[in-house]
Chain A
C-alpha cells in the first residue's frame, strides 16, 4: 500500500511535511515498513482542502489532514481496513461523504495530460517517473524519428503554446529547425508572473522530469544541445526539485552525451529570475538570461532567428512542454481529438478567488466557464452571487454571467474581450467592485512596466490615476471617454506584450460593467460597497441605545450624542476606519 502525501507549496504551508514524518513514525512504530510506504508527491490540485493524502490502491482521498491525524489513519485505515469517515470529503450539496476522488465534482470533469503525474509520483525519484513512462517518448523520438517527422507530429497534434500567446508549437519548432547556426538553444519559460497563477509551479514541483524530457525532444528536433530553464527565484521548492531531477537524469544517461546510444547530446542548466513580470516576455527573458536588465526588444527578429547569445532559440512555456511527451506516446490524432478544432488538448487553470474549490484544474478545451466555476469550482463561496470571472491575469479581461456558456478556447475568449492567458482564473462576487479590480491590475502593470517605452510607462500611470479618481468619487462622466481613448492608444503604441495588453482589464470592465463606472462618476456611489471613499458610516436611530461605546472608540471624535440618546456621525470628520462599527454591540452602525 502507498500513502501519497501532497507536498506542493500550498499543502506544505499547511504542515504536510510534519504530517509525512508523523505517518512515517507511525509506520515504523507498527512495524509496517514492508507493507506501507508514505510518499511525498506533487500537487493534487484540490488546494482548498489541503493537506491532502491519498491511499492507494483503494483510492481513498482524505482532506484537511493534520499531523495529529496520522495515528488514526494508520490504526484505522491501514491496520483495521476501516475508512476514517471524519477525514473524508463532504460533498457541499448532497452532504454525502465521498472517498473516491474520481467521484468528486471537483475531479469529474477534469482530464489530466500536463498534470498526469502530479500527485502520483515522488518528484524526487526518477524511478517513480520512469514507471509512469517518463523518457519513453524521448527514446522513441531520438531512435525512431527524424527531426522533420517529429516536428510534423507536433504540428498535426494542433498543440498551441500555453504561455499566453497560443502560437502553434510545431510551427515554432520548425522555424528554429530551419534557421541554420553553429549553436541553438531550447529555453523553458518558467517565469510565471501572472499574480494569480500557479500551474507551471505545480508541474515543476510535481513532475519535473516531464519538462526535462520535452526540452530534450525539442533539442533533438531543432538541433540544439543546450537547454536553459528560466525560473523565478520566488519558487524555491520548484528550483530544488528541478536541480535534483537534472542530476538524476544525468546519472541515468537521459541527459548528457549520446542519449539512448545515439549521437544526440543535450544538457540543461537553470537560470534564475529576480522578480520582474516583464521577464516572462520572451525577448526580455533572453536579455535577463544574458545578465542584463530584462527589457523587451522589438520583434522581429524573433528568438527563433536571433535569441540567446544571438543564436536561434526556441522558447516554450512549462505547460506546453509538459503536454508534449504524451503526444509522441499516444499519437497526434489522439491529442487532436481532445478539445476543439482550433484549440486541441487540455488547459490547466489556477482557479481562485471567491469560489468554493480553489485549486488547480485541467480541463479539455471547449468546456464552458459555467462548468469550471459551478461544477468543478463548486460555485461561489458563502452563497454569494457570481459577478465576474477574470481570465488572463493583468493582460486579460473580466467576463460576466452572459459569457458563462462561452467555450474556453483561445479564439472565443479573445472574441469576447478576454484571453486565455497563462491560465489564471479569478472568480469575483457581488462584493467586488469592478473599477477597483481594474485598478488592482493597473497597479500591477504600473509597478511592472519596464519603462522602456512611453505609452506604457506614462500612459498606464495616467490610467491608474484616472481609476483612482473614479474610486474616490473625483471623476466626471467625460473621464470615462478619456479612459477608453487612452487605453486604445496604449494598446496600439506600446512596444511589447505587456503594454499592448495592459488596458484590457479596463476596457473589458468598461464594456461589461458600465453601470458600475457610471454609479461612481455620477452618483458618487460604489454599488459593491468596496470603495472606501464612497461609503459612509451611519448610525440607525432605532437600533442605537446611546451606550457611547462608539464615540469613545472613534479616533477623530466624529461621533456625538447624549448618553441613552441615539448618536450621530459627522461625515465631514469621519475617516472611515470602521472602529465604531466593530465596537457596536447593537448592530446600529452600517455602511451606506
Chain B
C-alpha cells in the first residue's frame, strides 16, 4: 500500500461515513462509494479505505482488491494539474507516444508519477473518443488537440505560474 501515512481529520471521517450512508452501506455499491470518495479526496489512500471498511462492514482486503483492480482508482495523489495523454489506437498511430515522452522529459517524472512540488502528474489514458483531434492531451478538464512534441513546452508553461 502507499508508503505515505496521512492523518484523516474528523470531518474527513464524517464525510466518508456520510457517503457510505448515502448508499445504505450496501456492499453492491462499493464502486459507487469509492467513486464518491475519490471525487472528494482526489485519491484513495489506505486510510480512506480503512474508514470505508469500518463504516460499511466490507473487509478492507476486499476494498483494496477492488481499488487496485480498476485503473480509474488511484492510491497516490495526482498533481494540481494532472496531465493525461490519450494512448488510444488513433492517438497512438498519430504519434501520442512521442508526446508522452516529451512530457516525461520536460517534467522529469514518469507516467503515473507526480512531480515533487505536487504541481504536475502524468498519466496515459485509453481513448477519450475525440479521435478527430488525435493526438490528444488533457490537462485537468482542458483538452489540447493535434498536439506535437514541440507544443509540449508551451502547454507546461501555461500552468507553471498557476
| Chain A residues in the interface with B (C-beta under 8 A) | 9-10, 12-14, 47-50, 193-198, 201-202, 233-235, 271-277, 288-294, 350, 352-354, 358-359, 390, 393, 424, 426, 428, 432, 437, 440-441, 444, 450
Contacts and interface: CB of A to CB of B under 8 A. Distances in A.
B24 interface: no
Contacts of A293: 65-66, 69
B125 A234 contact: yes
A359 B65 contact: no
Interface stretch (B9-17, B126-134, B151-159): B126-134
A314 B131 CA distance: 31
Given A10-B133, A291-B66, A274 B34 contact: yes
B129 A9 contact: yes
A440 B92 contact: yes
Given A193-B126, A291-B27, A358-B134, A275 B72 contact: yes
A233 B74 CA distance: 14
Contact of B30 (A291, A359, A393, A426): A291
Contact of B72 (A197, A201, A233, A290): A233
Nearest to B150: A582
Give chain B's interface residue range (CB within 8 Å of chain A).
Answer: 35 or more
A271 B31 CA distance: 9
A214 B129 CA distance: 24
Contacts of B71: 274-276
Contacts of B30: 291-292
B93 A426 contact: yes
Contact of B90 (A273, A358, A437): A358
A-B complex: 9 closest residue pairs judged by Cβ atoms: A47-B132, A198-B129, A196-B89, A274-B70, A352-B90, A275-B72, A13-B143, A291-B30, A275-B71
A103 B73 CA distance: 46
11 contacts: A10-B132, A12-B143, A13-B145, A196-B127, A272-B32, A273-B72, A275-B126, A291-B31, A350-B131, A393-B89, A426-B90
B71 to A, nearest CB: 4
Contacts of B66: 291-293
A275 B145 contact: no
Nearest to A47: B132
Nearest to B23: A291
B80 interface: no
Given A47-B133, A197-B127, A234-B72, A272 B88 contact: no
Contacts of A444: 126
A431 B93 CA distance: 9
B28 A291 contact: yes
Given A353-B94, A354-B93, A440-B92, A276 B131 contact: no
B70 A196 contact: no
A390 B132 contact: no
Contacts of B28: 289-291
| Residue from A202, A234, A294, A428 with most neighbouring chain B CB atoms (10 Å) | A234
B21 interface: no
Contacts of A10: 129-133
Interface string B1-44: 00000000000000000000000001111111011000000000
